[in-house]
Amino acid sequence: MARTLPPVQAIRAEIDALFTEGRDLVEVIEDIARLGARLIIQTAVEAEVDAFLGRARYQRADAATSSDEAHAVRPGHRNGHCPTTIKTTSGPVTIARPKLRGTTEAFASRLFGAGVTRTNALETLVIASFVRGLSVRDVEGALADALGPEAALSKSTVSTICQAIVAEYDAWSRRDLTGVELDYLFLDASHFKMHDGQRAEPVLAAWGITTEGKPVFTGLSAAAAESTDAWHDFLTDLATRGLRPPLLVVSDGAPGLIAAAEQVFPRSLRQRCVIHKCRNVLSKVSAGDQAQVKAAFWNIFDTGSPDNDDKEIEPGPGLVAWVQARIDAFADTWGGRYPSAVKSLPTDRQSLTTYLRFPPEHHKRIRHSNFIERTFGETLFRSKTRFRAVNWGFAA
């Protein structure tokens, strides 16, 4: 009979499985937060038991030694676990609460009293930890926020928690990508405030759709700035680990991102995010005209029923030319009133219409990169501690 995995290892296996299931990125990030909160609490309570018994799991009492009177070796042994449900902002999660037998005094965990209900601090800590190294001070502060001041843990326990979370991210960020074959690669950055009193820092993210049509979370990394060097290092790391050039790279108009993508994946076509472009246009239009301009902008890219023609145009150069003619018409209509708003549209029309060369059923999904913004936006909106996102855009 196979031995049941210890709870901490079982949670780690669940985290590993998240990135091989081909699920939507929003769901993956939400589950990272939920499982990460479980991992933090489970690691902490298991470390409490180690300290109480004075020995690690599977270590014999006669083989354990301790010079610390507070952590002296005690009689007794572990006797399985019982499930304990904890409320989180992502829903209830179940922790395996250790049971002991043969002890001369009762074991009382500092993590479980009336119940743990304030775990949004843990979830944001997990999100931050997956893109930035943890410090003991960060973990202590988050545990105090989530579990209350009575949940004071030892430095060694906090260190164990740090090592457990960081090890998961390190393993994922070094995984082999030779088996990942993408048609579409989406690139974007979101800004996170990692520490009190510090400026928000960008987190670079890559998300793709495979040739089988499955979404895959490809890469995540903190950076000092959204520079060409930062994006180049990020993308080069993906390529070095085996990621092949995608057919299409979708991004906003950040110069550093564009330059890096063209250097690392020179043969891939590039699509400019039309939502970011719409946002740029509307920012220079008066409030009274915004609704009309917005409707006219999106009509440019509505290819479902071409004007005065019952026959749809097939994807390719013909459809690209037809939509680009619409861009020119939009610029002619609104250029006189809002020249600064539309002056870049004709210039950018090539990069705004690349997606029209691909299958029509893919068009609405590959013409923008806002899936990544939506992911971090929806997840971090629920998290109301010092690791909140300060710039997460809006959903498509």
pLDDT in tens, 267-306: 999 999 999 999 999 999 999 999 999 999 999 998 865 5
Task: With respect to residue 233, please indicate whether it lies within any of the assigned structural domains.
Answer: yes
Dist. CA 256–CA 23, nearest whole Å: 29
Q: Which of 173, 203, 238 is the last residue of a domain?
A: 173
Domain identity same for 41 and 160: yes
Q: Measured between alpha carbons, how far is residue 31 from residues 129, 162, 342, 367, 375 in Å?
A: 14, 19, 41, 27, 12
Domain identity same for 287 and 257: no
Q: What is the pLDDT of residue 326?
A: 95
Domain identity same for 264 and 282: no
Q: What is the pLDDT of residue 289?
A: 94
Q: How many CA atoms lie within 13 A of 286 on its CB side?
A: 6
Dist. CA 104–CA 291, nearest whole Å: 73
DSSP 10-66: HHHHHHHHHTTS---HHHHHHHHHHHHHHHHHHHHHHHHHHHHHTS-TT--GGG---
Domain identity same for 260 and 289: no
Q: Where does the pLDDT of residue 117 fall: very low under 50, low under 70, confident under 90, or very high at 90 and above?
A: very low
Domain identity same for 137 and 248: no
Q: What is the residue range of 356's domain? A: 274-367
Q: How many CA atoms lie within 13 A of 358 on its CB side?
A: 20
Q: Measured between alpha carbons, how far is residue 318 from residues 305, 313, 326 in Å?
A: 14, 7, 13
Domain identity same for 11 and 81: yes
- As for how many domains the chain has, the answer is 3
In terms of Cβ atoms closer than 10 Å to its own Cβ (0-12, 13-18, 19+), residue 131 is buried
Of 254, 192, 185, 196, the C-alpha closest to 224 is 192
Phi, psi for residue 185 in degrees, rounded to 5:
-125, 120
Q: Where does the pLDDT of residue 129 fall: very low under 50, low under 70, confident under 90, or very high at 90 and above?
A: low
Task: With respect to residue 339, please indicate whether it lies within any of the assigned structural domains.
Answer: yes
Cβ neighbours, 10 Å, residue 355 = 26
- In this model, does residue 115 exceed pLDDT 50? no
**Mean pLDDT of the residues in the chain:** 76
- Provide the whole-model pTM: 0.70
Domain identity same for 394 and 343: no
Q: Where does the pLDDT of residue 67 fall: very low under 50, low under 70, confident under 90, or very high at 90 and above?
A: very low
Dist. CA 391–CA 77, nearest whole Å: 50
Of 51, 35, 38, the C-alpha closest to 155 is 51
- CA angle, 390 as apex, 389 and 395 as ends, to 5°? 75
